[in-house]
Structure 1
Amino acid sequence: MLFDLPDPETLYAALLSRNETFDGQAFVCVSSTGIFCRLTYPARKPKREHCTFFQTIGECLNAGFRPCKRCHPLQASALADPSISALLHSLEAQPDRRWSEGHIVKMGYDPSTIRRSFKRQFGMTFLEMARQRRIREGFETLAGGGKVITAQHEASFDSASAFRTAFARLLGCLPSELRPNKLLQATWIPTPLGGMIAVSSRSHLHLLEFLDRKALPAELKRLHTTSNGEIGIGRLPPSEQAKSELEAYFSARSDSFQTPLALNATPFTRLVWNALQTIPAGETRSYSDIARQIGHPSAVRAVARANGANQIALMIPCHRVIGANGSLTGYGGGLWRKQRLIEIERQLKIPKINQNT
């Protein structure tokens, strides 16, 4: 990048004063509304704890935030490419359309060119952008207590079966089963590294995973089975606490997670997970380090399996475990995300050092 993003406090001050210095070079994502804006946005300013700042629009979209309809943060990229402008305008004008490459061709554009243009400007294709918007709007309707048919309509699916299929792929069960009065309830949490699904009971958090984790559908199916089908969509106190703590974590205000966790696993796996929680933010350990710590120095592979079985990301920090040679090794949320989390946590340590000097 040619531009180094200033610290969050500087950017928040620019947001409050509507300073044009960083306009177009940084954007603010507001967790309380789920939207992202220019720093010169003229409306009432959000609280600092609700703000996360990104350098690119693509990062905002990938984190699950919607563009503001008042300050139009996509406008500059749209003006740079007439085809992008036309497609974004069509997406806003026809929210009920289920977009396909055929629609792009009918508008006179080459699908491969459009894919490259959107990927270059936003980090995702036009069809991915349209589908992400539909899925999110449907999920939020259900999480707010809305009916499946309402969610289907707001997500712009042609039929209830199409909507059910999309949710079955994402969550591992049908939306008709996701009623808000169930024992376990799932909700959507936007983060700077992508949207997350949190599942909790009234007392404990049972799952916290990034939406694009391949194992997510299987994990949700297991929860659905072990709870005898008692999994729905809604917001419960542990999920709300997790959302608040994640906001503090990503804004570099705290590396402490106090949300009560449900550790549903074998005694050995729980032993590994407990050891993971003792790794300080900004530091890493190898699988062999963990094996020695729990008193099973030869159980390195078993430790790796237990690490991979973790379904409460970040709060049980399996991303802090690396290979003996220093390599990142596997991570269900993606190696790029693991690297970014380690970088974020190293930054989290800086204020603590400064305070002691």
Structure 2
Amino acid sequence: MSYHLAPAPMPPPTESALPSRDAMMRAFYARDSAAEGIFLVGVHTTGIFCRPTCGARKPKPENISFYANPSEALHAGFRPCKLCKPIDRELPPPPLVIQLREAVEADPTGRITEKELAARGIDPSTARRQFRRYYGMTFQAYARARRMGLALREVGHHGNVTEAQFAQGFESASGFREAVRRLFGAAPRDAAATRRVLFAERFTTPLGRMLALADDEGLHVLDFVDRRGLERKLITLRERLKVTVVPGSHPTLTAAASQLAEYFAGRRTTFDLPLAPTGTPFEQVAWAHLRTIGPAETQSYSQMASALGRPGASRAVGRANGMNYISIIIPCHRVIAADGKLTGYGGGLWRKQWLLDHERRLAVSAPA
């Protein structure tokens, strides 16, 4: 299963929250043009996402999900519909953008490095610039979202949707299986037979979807699925601990979902969960210190370095905070620049600002 901690994820401040599911359902089945730009529709039986006005045959209501933007849909494991082209603007995409997108769909679980782009006669900086200009994200971010989305579709479904149904939406019929194997270490069916596993769940929060991994040792990962570097962290963690990640429930994940829900609802500011972060000795010390910074409080990187007995090691502190993949609970969002500005948050500065504002509001409203 997956946990929903809020009615709908909250996108960055420049975007509006989603309407109610009933309203979006009515608009989708009516192909209401007024809904264009407000939401996108993911179809579970085909693995594609569409515009509200897509002319394809309408799926059953139980087989659709709604998303605020293409990034959400991609990270949920869907690919763009070829009929309604939900990520295209009014003007057709440049030929280079089409070429790059088709390269991803030919092997959605693979990686196309800058070196490989150059070997194809494509300047990496040009690819990055054109893709960002047209889609609002870099080419590598798009490719990473497709890889992560394919693998994470298994998390939260637990086999309720067959591999064959997943594969209907892929250019490569083995795409889903290969994505899971590369990220989690085994094919979906084989993973269950592994002796030691980390169990994975997806949580839907007001700040977007998060991935959580835990076992009897505690919570190993809790981070936003669109965070850059999360994919590499999962692979490194799997290799270092000699484990396989499988979709499944665990008491620590259940407790994490409950406590996160209370945090976002304003009923909790601290957490009582067993944690098992993997890092260097210095990173472990830094992360332990982060948990001593109270809600609605902040420290600068230099203040944190001094507290750790390493004055002048602000950069080392920043790197340690950047390697924290247990967001919110290990509150690296409470560390800011000496001048008060927000810097260096893997989940995005808009999330860091939201978390700090949320905790300050709770502090003000708390009874004396």
TM-score of the superposed pair, with normalisation by structure 2? 0.64
1:93 to 2:58 alignment: yes
Q: Which amino acid aligns with 2:174?
A: S
Shift of 1:289: 0.7
Rounded to whole Å, the distance in 1 between the matches of 2:57 and 2:188 is 28
Residues 1-16 of structure 1 aligned to structure 2 (within 5 Å): none
Q: Structure 1 pair 156/60, CA: closer, same or farther in 2 (3 Å)?
A: farther
Please say if residues 291 and 330 of structure 2, whose CA atoms lie closer than 8 Å, have aligned partners that are also in contact.
yes
Q: 1:80 deviation in Å? A: 5.3
Match of 2:188 in 1: 176
User: Is residue 2:65 matched to residue 1:112?
Assistant: no
In the superposition, relative to structure 1, how do residues 336 and 50 fare at CA in structure 2: closer, same or farther (>3 Å)? closer
Q: Deviations over 1:104-147 (max 9, x none)?
A: 37xxx9931299xxxxxxx999xx9xxx9998798465545317
Report whether the alignment pairs 1:223 with 2:234.
no
Is the partner of 1:103 in helix, strand or coil?
Answer: coil
* 1:65-144 equivalences in 2 (<5 Å): 68=21, 70=22, 72=24, 75=27, 79=32, 81=34, 87-88=51-52, 90=54, 93-94=58-59, 100=80, 102-104=82-84, 111-113=88-90, 139=152, 142-144=155-157
Deviation per residue, 1:265-323 (Å, 9 max, x gap): 23322211111111111121111111111222132222111111111111001111111
Structure 2 CA distance for aligned equivalents of residues 103 and 320 of structure 1 = 45
Paired letter, 2:341: S
Match of 1:244 in 2: 258
Amino acid at match of 2:27: Q
SS of the aligned residue for 1:93 comes to: coil
1:153 partner SS? helix
Report what 2:114 is aligned to.
none
Residues 184 and 246 in structure 2, CA contact (< 8 A), matched pair in contact too:
no
CA distance in 2, matches of 1:219, 1:300: 23
Q: 1:1-357 to 2 correspondence within 5 Å?
A: 34=4, 68=21, 70=22, 72=24, 75=27, 79=32, 81=34, 87-88=51-52, 90=54, 93-94=58-59, 100=80, 102-104=82-84, 111-113=88-90, 139=152, 142-146=155-159, 150-151=162-163, 153-154=165-166, 156-158=168-170, 159-164=172-177, 167=180, 171=183, 173=185, 175-176=187-188, 179-180=191-192, 182-352=196-366, 355-356=367-368
Distance in 2 between residues matched to 1:60 and 1:210, nearest whole Å: 18
TM-score normalised per structure 1: 0.66
Residue 343 of structure 1, CA deviation: 1.0
Q: What is the CA-CA distance between 1:166 and the residue it aligns to?
A: 5.0
Q: Match of 2:159, as an amino acid?
A: G
8 Å contact kept, 1:58–1:124: no
Against the structure 1 CA distance between its residues 267 and 110, is the aligned structure 2 distance closer, same or farther, given a 3 Å change threshold? closer
Aligned equivalents of 2:250, 2:362: Cα separation in 1: 28
Which is worse superposed, 245-254 or 298-307? 298-307
Say which SS state the counterpart of residue 207 (structure 1) adopts. Answer: strand
CA distance in 1 between counterparts of 2:352 and 2:150 reads 28
Q: 1:297 to 1:73 in 2, by over 3 A?
A: farther
- For residue 208 of structure 1, give the secondary structure of its aligned residue in structure 2: strand
* Deviation at residue 253 of structure 1 after TM alignment: 1.1
Compared CA separation, residues 254 and 155, structure 1 to 2 (3 A): farther
Residue 161 (structure 1) shift: 2.0
Larger RCO (alpha carbons 8 Å, 6+ apart): 2
Amino-acid identity (%): 33
Alignment deviations for residues 212-246 of structure 1 (CA, whole Å, 9 cap, x no partner): 01110111001110222332221211111111111
Higher deviation after alignment, 335-344 or 191-200: 335-344
5+ residue gaps, structure 2: 40-49, 65-77, 93-134
| Structure 1 unaligned spans of 5+ | 1-30, 35-48, 116-122
Q: 1:203 to 1:174 in 2, by over 3 A?
A: closer
One-letter amino acid of the counterpart of residue 104, structure 1: C
Q: Contact 2:321–2:332 at 8 Å: present in 1 too?
A: yes
Give, in whole Å, the separation in 1 of the partners of 2:307 and 2:79. 53
The AA in structure 2 aligned to 1:112 is R
| Cα distance between partner residues in 2 of 1:134 and 1:114 | 27
Distance 1:184 1:53, change over 3 A: closer
Give the root-mean-square deviation of aligned CA atoms: 4.3
